[in-house]
Amino acid sequence: MNILVTGALGQLGSEIRAAVRAMGPTEDHYIFSDVASVPGEDILPLDITNSEAVGIICRSEKVDVIVNCAAYTDVEKAESDLDFADLINHRAVGNLAKTAAQTGATLIHISTDYVFDGEGYKPYTEEDAPAPLSAYAVTKFAGEKAIQKSGCRYIIIRSAWLYSTHGRNFVKTMLSLTASRDSIRVVCDQIGTPTCATGLAALIVKIISERLTDRTGIYNYTDEGVASWYDFAHEINVYAGHGCNVQPCLSVDYPTKARRPHYSVLDKSKVKRTFGVDIPHWTQPLKNCIDILKNEE
């Protein structure tokens, strides 16, 4: 099969590249792309907002699966940059889906726990009704709907609180803050699940390798367990061996432009049942990630 991965230089895209490299020789042909290439990396420049370029690549390379890791992911900035966020997270995704529908490709796309308003108190299933609170979340939900409307075969995976050894993320920010400050305050009233992009990448590669791409639908995938951002920061501080005093605070004490759900834990029964994945508790991959980052220092 021919697989086009967009946004391949981001956190998830980098983990998919690593997973494919680790697999060794395979009959599958992966084409990794991002909005701009970088020296030393085999990355095809492809802007997903350029629907003509997407169509040309999908047809000329006979792409069977598009894995869309490209996104506008700056939740705060999206509040004042709605049109650009919508272009990438919604309209370009709709065009990817239309191309997939025309060429017969499957679209694997990543969405977010932020499509929910967080007023719930038990893990959200794929059947629960989204009610996005922020501009970012509105554009991501619109992207989901555009895919479903396009008539293509699709797998939409809603994930959450992603981090990795690549790119910028909460783990790296907290490692730096807990190393340089005596004390920090982190919100304790937003509850979700920290998720290492390695596991999500492994799921996507498994779906492709085991030819499970016909299982159209929406799936939740995060690591197991439940945490607040405070718990997450606390564990990072402990694992890293930093002596920072990590204190809880409330969201009202830490005002942000974007509203975020208070509770966005996702129920993973469907993804486990359908694809037979074992999901680790969030603390284990976090420990591995910190070990790798510490070794790189």
Ligand X SMILES: NC(=O)c1ccc[n+]([C@@H]2O[C@H](COP(=O)([O-])OP(=O)(O)OC[C@H]3O[C@@H](n4cnc5c(N)ncnc54)[C@H](OP(=O)(O)O)[C@@H]3O)[C@@H](O)[C@H]2O)c1
Catalytic machinery residues: 136
**Bridging pattern class, strands 65-68 and 106-112:** parallel
Dihedral, CA of residue 145, residue 146, residue 148 and residue 150, to nearest 10? 160
Q: What is the largest CA-CA distance in the chain?
A: 57
The answer to whether 209 and 23 are in contact (CB under 8 A) is: yes
- Choosing from 5, 9, 115, 207, the residue that interacts with ligand X (CB under 6 A) is 9
Quick check: 220 binds ligand X (CB under 6 A)?
no
Residue number, 33 or 213, with CB nearest to ligand X: 33
**Binds ligand X by CB under 6 A, chosen from 4, 11, 115, 236:** 11
Token duo for residue 287: 């420990």
| Euclidean distance between CA atoms 148 and 167, whole angstroms | 30
**Under rule CB under 6 A, residue 47 binds ligand X:** yes
Site for ligand X (CB under 6 A): which residue of 20, 31, 63, 110? Answer: 110
With contact defined as beta carbons under 8 Å apart, do 235 and 186 qualify?
Answer: no
In the bound state, the residue with its beta carbon closest to ligand X is 10
Non-local CB neighbours of 56 within 8 Å, separated by 6+ positions = none
- Work out whether 70 is an interface residue with ligand X (CB under 6 A): yes
- Considering only 2, 37, 49, 148, the residue that binds ligand X (CB under 6 A) is 49
Pairing mode of beta strands 153-159, 217-220: parallel
Chosen residue from 2, 28, 35, 288 binding ligand X by CB under 6 A: 35
Q: Which of 16, 32, 34, 174 binds ligand X (CB under 6 A)?
A: 34
Smallest distance, ligand X to C-beta of residue 136, A: 8
Q: What is the DSSP letter of 36?
A: S
Q: Taking the complex as a whole, how short is the minimal distance between the CB of residue 61 and ligand X, in angstroms?
A: 16
73 in contact with ligand X (CB under 6 A): yes
User: Tokens 């009704």 sit at which residue?
Assistant: 129
Kind and range of the H or E run holding 195:
strand 195-196
* Residue 285 contacts ligand X per CB under 6 A: no
Which residue ranges make up the site for ligand X (CB under 6 A)? 6-7, 9-12, 34-35, 47-49, 69-71, 73, 88, 110, 112, 140, 159-162, 167
